[in-house]
Structure 1
Amino acid sequence: MSTESAFLSLPGAVAGGAGAADGIVTAAHYGDPVSEQRMLAAGRAIVDLSDRGVVTVTGDDRLRWLDSLTSQAVGQLAPGSSAETLLLDPQGRLEHSIRLLDDGATAWLLVDGEQALPLAAWLDRMRFMMRVEVADASAEWATIGQLQPEGARLLVSPAEPNGMPLVWRDPWVDVQVGGWQYAGVETHPGAEFPAVEVLVPRASLPGLVAGLQAGLAHVAGSLALDALRIAAWRPRQSDLDERSIPHEFDWLRSAVHLSKGCYRGQETVAKVHNLGHPPRRLVMLHLDGTLSLLPAPGSAVLRDGVEVGRVTAAARHHDLGPVALAVVKRSLAVDAPLVVTAEVPGADGAATGETAEIAAAQEVVVPPEAGATAGVPRIPRLGAVRR
């Protein structure tokens, strides 16, 4: 059963998909996605992210405990500071991406909506003798997003339940201490994506909407935010599948500390980074816009009719045109001509079952040579004969 966000009462609002576990529906756009993107990029618009989830961890051991379980060094996170960390399975595959904020009394874990309940349940099972308490607080707290370039102000007043403003600032803008960037670019597009997430009481959303109707700020839909994050090569939970590892998305850049010590999945992270290569790699695709079609997440990426990857997200960017993020085989040549498949809708927008192929040019995010940073010479197997 879905619940419509209060933002859908705003003029021009067009509903997107249900994102949270309780089916909260937010606006895909408000009638002009291109203008909304420009407003958002300039720091003049907010985005309704109330379909996302919030997990709280309280207790004296909260940061030390989270540090022992996840990929980023957060044991000494200062009150008011932001971080991003990943929860991996024992084989190093991605299970949860977590945007973390601590206010001195509570650690606030911001996640995609459908992740909140399973993450809270797993963490609760892992408490053992630690002085921590875990709760899914999604019903009480909502997230509002914006971009905050230099000189822009926060457009929404954050909650301060423990005297510290609940504002999470995306570390993707730069390589974090202990991290590593695979993208071989002088200026990373993430520097132009100063994303901010503000927590407010969920009960305050109708009042916020009334303020927007009175001219408090401009508003942008989820399509605008997704277009900007694709252009910034910014991964999120929805890009993942059951095989995903951090290296494939260049996520060591913001969410992994390579020398922090042991955590679940750390052995795989170290082995792939130091000695191996990720089996797949993230690319941004520039799509032919002739057909005015966008591939859906999961659509095949083809070379000469053979599937070599999958699309994870696609959007129309206000400057770059139609673009997508995709995960492709590491062995795929960086200049290989590609096509992606997209469904052709009927005149009424309904599914027809027909597909079309769209030409795509890849822009390398994670290069094929990513990994193997240790440069350790290969040692012959015991008993092997040298020739």
Structure 2
Amino acid sequence: MNSLRYPRSAAVYGIDERADEVQHFGMPLKEQRDLAAGRAVADLSSFRVYTLTGEDRLRWLHSLTTQSLENLPAGTSTETLILSATGHIEHWVRIIAEEDSLWLIFETGGEEAVEWLNSMRFMMRAEITDRTPEFQSVGTVGPAPEGLPVQAEWNDPWPAIGAGSASYAALDLGQEQASPKHPGHTNDLRIQLCPREQLRDWQPGGVAGRDAWEALRIENWRPSPQDVDSKTLVGELDVLRTAVHLAKGCYRGQEAVARVHNLGQVPRRLVFLHVDGSTHTIPRPGAEVYAEVRGAERVIGHLTSTAIHYEYGPVALALIRRGTSPDAQLLVAGDEDEKLPTTVEEIVAFKRENRVGLPQINREVDLRRFGR
């Protein structure tokens, strides 16, 4: 279902749940430049949109997810995660707060997430309504262009370090504010929720495919559900800074988050890769990453997001073993037996002192929880 007007004859579409979403229009680098300059909007029509209403909406969602939402002011854009009991990321929710409701935006897995949330509602006065048939997500860099019919705007908080949160990035580890050198300041990514009936009548100045949006996201070092697998922990992606409150009390998976913060290190860490572009190809997500370990070349991770950037060429985000030396030469599996050299930029720190940059534990919550 896609209500955005665009040149359909030039459109190359995605697959599976992105089958109606435009991947690109045959000129992906130009589309990136236009999107980054505010001359185009991005097709994000595969995103699912819901509203959460009811008197208990904030308290209920607060109790089930990683972010502090109980006193969320109207007009706020934030995000939160639904974790497994072992602390692995299961669902990723972007939130826009209004006076009497919340907009919930799911890039993937929206139906499964809502099904689980509804199973946990019990006597809470909260109701989730699927608004995808009425509203479509449109991506912009900076404010919405003139004339675009916008019902609500999600303004990406990245790379800000939220109150009660922490950075795991080497650039600003232990700091209360994001480093001004953080690439997350580069592109002001926003999601506009547009009424479909009005969107059908709007004539855009330019439209970019989803690939353009992904390239700018990767440039920003911005993790997303595309970078999550069945084992992903929040600290591996540095997503604590925008999606996790570390002193809010109990929720499913909270013990695992606290254990890593206070006692240990994440098993993997996110890195940014410049991939050798001499072959004019880019490996796909899932491609294995190699490094020399004890004198032999071994698999130490995999690509999670890839793009050919209009300025930097082939780029990628990858999850690698935390213990891999920052100075290691990483290779990426290409076509057949080819291995492509890379230049690595450290995102999540190679080593983090326990409790660096962490807020104080809420001991009152812990005492109530364990009945002490």
TM-score by length of 2: 0.88
Within 5 Å, which residues of 2 pair with 1:213-362? 217-304=205-292, 305-343=297-335, 354-362=336-344
Q: Alpha-carbon deviation of 1:327?
A: 0.1
Kept in 2: contact 1:13–1:31 (CA 8 A):
yes
Alignment-derived partner of residue 163 in structure 1: none
Q: Which residue of 1 aligns with 2:11?
A: 13
| 1:333 alignment partner AA | S
> Counterpart in 2 of 1:55?
50
8 Å Cα contact 2:6/2:207 also seen in 1: no
Q: 1:340 to 1:131 in 2, by over 3 A?
A: same
Q: Which residue of 2 aligns with 1:384?
A: none
Structure 1 counterpart of 2:346, one-letter code: V
Q: TM-score, normalised by structure 1?
A: 0.84
Q: Determine the C-alpha separation between the residues in 1 that align with 2:74 and 2:264.
A: 37
Shift of 1:138: 2.1
From 180, 184, 199, the counterpart of 2:170: 184
Q: In structure 2, what is the equivalent of residue 141 of structure 1?
A: 135
Give the corresponding residue for 2:351.
369
Q: Name 2:360's counterpart in structure 1.
A: none
Q: Provide the secondary structure at the position in 1 that maps to 2:326.
A: coil
Contact 2:79/2:92 (<8 A) preserved: yes
Mapped contact 1:12–1:30 kept (Cα < 8 A): yes
* Amino acid in structure 2 at the alignment position of 1:19: E
Report the count of equivalent residues: 346
**Structure 2 residue 170 is matched with structure 1 residue 172:** no
Residues 278-331 of structure 1: CA distance to partner in whole angstroms, max 9, x if unpaired? 000000011100111111111100124310000001111112211100000011
**Higher relative contact order (Cα pairs below 8 Å, separated by 6+ residues):** 2
Residues 1:31 and 2:26 aligned together: yes
Matches within 5 A, 1:66-81: 66-81=61-76
Letter in 2 for 1:328: I
Q: Aligned-pair distance for 1:234?
A: 0.5
**Which sections of structure 1, spanning at least 5 residues, go unmatched?**
160-165, 344-353, 376-387
Question: Which residue identity is paired with 1:172?
Answer: W
Distance 1:332 1:5, change over 3 A: farther
Pick closer, same or farther for the CA change 1:189–1:204 going to 2, 3 Å.
Answer: same
User: What is the distance in 1 between the residues matched to 2:229 and 2:353?
Assistant: 21
After superposition, what is the alpha-carbon deviation per residue over 1:231-258, rounded to whole angstroms, capped at 9, x for unaligned? 1110111211100011000001111111
What CA distance in whole angstroms lies between the structure 1 residues aligned with 2:290 and 2:170?
25
The corresponding residue for 1:385 is none
In the other structure, the counterpart of 1:351 is: none
* Residue pair 1:18, 1:26 contacting (<8 A) in 2 also: no
Which deviates the most, 60-69 or 259-268? 259-268
Deviation at 1:8, TM superposition (A): 5.5
Distance 1:374 1:168, change over 3 A: closer
Task: Measure the CA separation in 1 of the matches of 2:254 and 2:2.
Answer: 40
Aligned mates of 2:116, 2:133 — CA distance in 1: 19
How far has the Cα of 1:202 moved from its partner? Answer: 3.0
Change (3 A) 1:325 1:197: same
**Residues 99-138 of structure 1: matches in 2 within 5 Å?**
99-112=94-107, 114-138=108-132
- Cα distance between partner residues in 2 of 1:11 and 1:205: 20
Which letter does structure 1 place at the counterpart of 2:83?
A: L
Report the Cα offset of residue 155 of structure 1.
6.1
Q: Name the CA shift for 1:286/1:276 in 2 (closer, same or farther; >3 Å).
A: same
The one-letter amino acid of 1:338's match is: L
**Secondary structure, counterpart of 2:201 in structure 1:** helix
Contact residue 291 and residue 299 of structure 2 kept, 8 A: yes
Distance 1:69 1:15 in 2: 35
* SS of equivalent to 1:100: strand
Shift of 1:31: 2.7
Structure 2 residue ranges without an equivalent (≥5): 172-178, 358-372
How far the C-alpha of 1:18 sits from its partner, in A, is 3.6
Q: Is the 1:40–1:46 Cα contact (8 Å) retained in structure 2?
A: yes
Q: What is the alpha-carbon distance in structure 1 between the residues aligned to residue 30 and residue 303 of structure 2?
A: 25
C-alpha RMSD of the superposition: 2.1
Distance 1:126 1:71 in 2: 15
Q: Deviations over 1:136-178 (max 9, x none)?
A: 33222211111107xx85662212xxxxxx1111011321222
User: Does structure 1 conserve the Cα–Cα contact (< 8 Å) formed by 2:4 and 2:43?
Assistant: no
- The CA distance in 2 between the partners of 1:242 and 1:371, in whole Å, is 26
Q: Secondary structure at the match of 1:71?
A: coil
Offset of residue 204 of structure 1: 3.7
- Cα distance in 2 for partners of 1:222, 1:268 equals 34
Distance in 2, Cα, partners of 1:207 & 1:71: 39
**What amino acid maps onto 2:26 in structure 1?**
G
Report the AA paired with residue 198 of structure 1.
Q
Instruction: Map 1:153-168 onto structure 2 (within 5 A).
Output: 156-159=148-151, 166-168=152-154
